[in-house]
Amino acid sequence: MIGEKILNYRIDSLIGEGGVGTVYQATHTQLGRTVAIKALNPTLVNNEQVKQRFRQEATTLSNLQHINIITLYDYLENEKGLFLIMEFAKGEALDDFIKKRPIPEEQVRYYFSRILDGMEYAHKKGVIHRDIKPSNVIITEEADAKILDFGIAKILKEGKNTLTQPGAQLGTVLYMSPEQVQGQTVDHRTDIYSLGVTLFEMLTGKPPYDETQTTEFEVFNKIINEPLPALNTFKEQLSDRMQWLIDKATAKNPAERFQSCAEFKEALLKQEQAPAKTVNEAIGGKKELRPTQVKATNTGQEATTAKPTSTPPKKPTNEGSQGNKGKGNTGSRPKKGMSRTPLYILITILVVLTGFLIYNELSGDKKGSRTLSENTTKDTVKKAEDNTVTNDDNNNKTNEKSEEDKKREARQARLDSLIARKKRLNDTLKLVKRQRLDSLRNALLVDGRLIEPEDELAEGITVEVELRNTREDVKFKSIVISLKLYNDAGVEVEDHEHKYGDLNKEVNQSVTFRITREIEASKYQCTLKSVDIRDLNPPKKVDSLNKVITKLEEEIKSIEDN
């Protein structure tokens, strides 16, 4: 179909194909607006059920006007088929976005909050998507998220035919809720389950189940009976808060899930720390621990208490002290008249002298031994003291070095943490600014109208351009318009750049001007090429982020200087 026209749209290129239809990129021949056209597969044109679902997608989208949902411009049925003419969102599908890069947790929060905004709006309109998955979300070049493909959406209105047969299973298996895989009644909490699985994939880079290694029946069984695998089995260093969010969103019982996308978003954007899981933890107490019983090891012997044993000293034996007791003297009796006193005196003197000599000898040995012992003890004590001083010095040096290392490591860890946080905040700031600029840029409407020449013989082409600012909080400076001209065959013959300047009109007041080109052309495309956007009321979040980043920079500099 490339090159053909559908209404005022020229089909330029193929975007993608699926089982139900094909999506093309096209351009409005008068306005120059780029759109996406979804065409029903020609082989299904005679399938009434499929045609009815295609029409329902058009009906559903026509009632949804939200920045995070693809907008429907028109619907057409003719002899060529059935066509949805929709907003063209330049970017890439979320599943491709996930595969190409790991997404930081802070960015996951941002993108996922945008998806939740769109789904909260749809649910309030009574629409259930029923096929939420990464491939049905576009991440735009302006860092926004847009939900698409409401082909099997269910409209919750009393008496409304939902086009779903009893027991039918609609959706993509990996992202289905337990009630979906069992063909039960579904409501908006089914989308919340699928959103939880989508969040799991955004964080880990992979879906929870590997279709190449698991049969569809096994996946069904896991969805019904088992919780999703833990995040840390796929990727480490993810917060406990994220694990709690996914556990709650994908609870088997819908009543235990988040009851709205608004509630889901509020929990998502809260600070870290998962909720306490017990009453004791919730009031700030410590988690209760049960006592652990350790079974004793049987060694076959009883333990006994060792008691000191002492052998009482034996009574000394004095042999010979009474050796002659009870016996008569065998010596001669002294002669009468001779005195034994001098002999006793002499013996006494000899005994005393001998004892004195022995005493002196023993006293001298003890004194020498004591002196030697004292000297040895002093030397030992001195050496021990010297060793103690040396060891203390070494220990002090080691402790000082250890303390310095600890301080240095702690300082470096703090610095790394601050730098990482600053990077995350800068990334968030860029996303917020890009989103803001995209929103402001869309406030500048650029339109063109072909002016028929008064003289039929006149050559060239004239286009009347209209500019209009639709917001009060922005001014547009240095506006440059791109005017592309095409011949009858659709071949581009000129890309003209027109510098308009500043738009000074009041809000919603149009300014028009004409561009004439002396060239043979029959078609044109008029678009905004560039503009200087002056934000008159920047979001408070930008100012808040800038202040936090400035404080972080000051703290980082302080640590680096010290």
Name every residue whose Cβ is closer than 8 Å to that of residue 6 and which is 6 or more positions away in sequence. 26, 37, 76, 80, 83, 85
CATH code of 170's domain: 1.10.510.10
CATH code of 456's domain: 2.60.40.10
Give pLDDT, residue 159.
35
- Of 181, 161, 163, the closest CA to residue 171 belongs to 181
Give pLDDT, residue 279.
32
User: Judging by beta carbons within 10 Å of its beta carbon (0-12, 13-18, 19+), is residue 448 exposed, middle or buried?
Assistant: buried
- Of 148, 158, 156, the closest CA to residue 128 belongs to 156
Same domain, 176 and 110: yes
Distance CA 98, CA 11 (A): 29
- Of 497, 513, 515, 500, the closest CA to residue 461 belongs to 515
Same domain, 121 and 260: yes
Full residue range of the structural domain in which residue 527 is found: 441-540
Residue 303 lies in a domain: no
Mark which of 87, 116, 133 sits at the end of a domain: 87
Same domain, 45 and 110: no
In contact, 265 and 237? CB cutoff 8 Å:
no
Mark which of 275, 290, 324 sits at the end of a domain: 275
Strand partners, 76: 83
Same domain, 25 and 119: no
From first to last of its 562 residues, what are the pLDDT tens digits of the chain? Answer: 788 888 889 999 998 887 678 999 999 998 889 999 999 888 887 888 888 888 888 888 888 889 999 998 998 988 888 999 999 998 999 999 999 888 898 899 999 999 999 999 999 999 999 899 999 999 998 889 999 988 665 544 433 334 333 333 444 789 999 999 888 889 999 999 999 999 999 999 999 988 777 787 888 889 999 999 999 888 888 888 999 999 999 999 999 999 999 999 999 988 544 554 433 333 333 333 333 333 333 333 333 333 333 434 444 444 333 333 344 444 434 444 445 666 667 777 777 777 766 666 655 554 454 554 455 555 655 665 566 656 666 666 666 667 788 778 888 888 888 898 888 888 888 888 887 888 888 889 888 888 877 776 667 889 999 999 988 899 999 999 999 998 877 788 999 999 999 999 888 888 999 999 988 888 888 889 999 999 998 888 888 889 989 988 998 988 888 7
Residue 536 lies in a domain: yes
Phi/psi of residue 21, nearest 5 degrees? -160, 180
In contact, 484 and 525? CB cutoff 8 Å:
yes
Same domain, 109 and 208: yes
Distance CA 213, CA 401 (A): 54
Residue 398 lies in a domain: no
Distance CA 528, CA 478 (A): 11
Strand partners, 444: 469
In contact, 227 and 221? CB cutoff 8 Å:
no
Residue 397 lies in a domain: no
Which of 117, 131, 149, 191 is catalytic? The answer is 131
Same domain, 53 and 99: no
Same domain, 136 and 246: yes
Indicate if the alpha-carbon torsion angle 208, 212, 214, 217 is positive or negative: positive
Distance CA 502, CA 479 (A): 6
Name the DSSP letter for residue 69.
B
In contact, 451 and 463? CB cutoff 8 Å:
yes
- Of 410, 418, 431, 411, the closest CA to residue 104 belongs to 431
Same domain, 462 and 524: yes
Give the DSSP letter string of 215-236.
Answer: -HHHHHHHHHHSPPPPGGGT-S
Mark which of 245, 275, 305 sits at the end of a domain: 275
Residue 234 lies in a domain: yes
Distance CA 223, CA 194 (A): 11
Same domain, 74 and 103: no
Give pLDDT, residue 307.
37
In contact, 56 and 170? CB cutoff 8 Å:
no
Residue 283 lies in a domain: no
Residue 376 lies in a domain: no
Residue 360 lies in a domain: no
pTM as predicted:
0.50
Angle, helix 105-124 to helix 261-269, in steps of 10 degrees:
160
Q: What DSSP element (H or E) covers 182?
A: none
Phi/psi of residue 260, nearest 5 degrees? -160, 160
Give the DSSP letter string of 444-503.
Answer: EEEEEEEEPPSSTT--SEEEEEEEEE--SSEEEEEEEEEEEEE-TTS-EEEEEEEEEEEE
Cβ density class 280-313: b for 16+ within 10 Å, e for less: eeeeeeeeeeeeeeeeeeeeeeeeeeeeeeeeee
Same domain, 182 and 266: yes
- Which amino acid would we find at residue 379? D
Q: Is 149 helix (H, G, I), strand (E, B) or coil?
A: coil
CATH code of 79's domain: 3.30.200.20
Same domain, 109 and 250: yes
Give pLDDT, residue 488.
79
Name every residue whose Cβ is closer than 8 Å to that of residue 152 and which is 6 or more positions away in sequence. 53, 130, 131, 170, 171
Same domain, 205 and 65: no
Count of domains for the chain: 3
**131 an active-site residue?**
yes
